Structure 1
Amino acid sequence: MIEDAHAAGFDIQKRTVTGWIARGLLDRPRRRGAGRGSFPGLHSENQRKLFLLLLTKREEMPKLPALAVIPLTIWLWWGDEWVPRRQALKALTTWFGDGARSREVCQEAARGLLQQLDHPMASDTARNRLVRTFTEISYRGAMSETARAELETAVREVFEPPSVFKTTGMVRAVGPHTLPLTIEAVLGRASALAAAVQTLRGKHVTEELLGRAKALYQQSKREYAELRPALAAHTSGPLSGIFSERTVEEEVSSVGNDLVLGIGLLLTSPRAQAEFSRAL
């Protein structure tokens, strides 16, 4: 690995390689021989290619959590021949990292929901409260009955402003009828995210759970790719941009968030568990 790096023009030390192995950017080398230390371990050709890619990207993404997205994406898209699941689990842990990352994941999810839920008659105070409440509840990693009621109130004030809906008794749903977004759907997403955050913080995500999340991710992507053109064609107004096609860069940047939500849905949603069974 060091020779490959030097040949490609990178000044790299052995401690960098061992550190990246510990954090899941690289997999551990394969042992050769039966005795302890009889032969140096070898990395596969695919891992050596990954190593050079990481070195190339390190200048624009110097922090390890950002670099960890690369092996995680390769595992999701290309499989265990490139990145084994044990490495992908370490990479996910590195990407998720500390409390700052988990709060960022929750805040991004909150802002994305606000874009989908926003009603023109909602107040800025209600919008800010929704982002703050969703972020804090999912970040805490628990969804008590009190927290659920607090979040439902915050969602309703944005999604169904009292000035419009209080006297009508109407219930709002946005998006196409095949994929409606309702208050219950939002609460379910928050509950899933809270469960995932709690599980990741406690380092309780197993290789088996991560493999299930990958199967759910791939199944969802295939189904969405089939539905997206029709959804985009039949969706107008504020939601019209939701179903636009993502760039490769956007897909890569969303990999960690997508996996976290998938883990949460597998922990909390019977529907997601059924989707996983279909993906097998």
Structure 2
Amino acid sequence: MVDNPKESAGRCAQVAGWLTAACQAGHTLLSEPEAKAVLQAYGIPIVETRIALTEDEAVQQAEQLGSPVVLKLLSPTITHKSRMGGVRLVLRTAEEVRQAYRAVAEAAERQAGAGQMQGVTVQPMVTLEGYKLIVGSFCDPQFGPVLLFGSGGRLVEVRRDTALALPPLTTTLARRLLERTRIFTALQHGAAGLPAVDLAALERLLVRFSLLIVEQPLIRECDINPVLAAGDHLLALDARIVLHSIDVPEIALPRLAIRPYPSHYLEN
């Protein structure tokens, strides 16, 4: 899978500009819409996500998207929203949206104190039945950026079904990463009434994610949890990106353990 070199360079520069601007502004934790914009730039499918800074804006965005919708806390400091009551699902009416907004605001103040809520994000409630997966990355002191894949959702830490790999990935290496998880059998053959997943599409998603991590060294951590895999549909429902501090000089940023193949040797 080879991208057009000019398009690839333009995408890399555009996203690097976004991340550098965020670092310079002191925002090392991207908002969910910002993180999803980064993923979308690398061809990773996302669910549409809009920002609402007030209760009335939340109602307006919900009406434009169509019911049902999901409301999530928008905060510059709180990353794990569901753990503290910052996610409200299956909202069908304006009154339900208003009640959800107030509940999220109360939970944020109770858990993190006043001033930690910027607003909410509003997105369509995805009703597809499928597998919830996690795709992520973190920086290891010895190996640099490391990729993670496995069973996702709210029980990711309970199931402990993940595997690690070093970027960059090819589709072959992506398949090997998939095969090292327990959920792979279900993805390949289907299970519990759910169909098998388009493994080739999932491999391509992993390759694109690894390319993001390779090309954007300012990223310290990145989690897509969950990635919904339903038949031939793949969709990033939530995303979190943490950047290195602007105080970290470029020479001190984690280095890849495996050097990418020189792009000038690739042909379309």
Coarse TM-score class (shorter-chain normalised): under 0.3
If asked which structure has higher relative contact order (CA below 8 Å, sep 6+), I would say: 2
TM-score (norm: length of structure 2): 0.24
TM-score (norm: length of structure 1): 0.23
Greater helix share, structure number: 1
Greater strand share, structure number: 2
Larger radius of gyration: 1
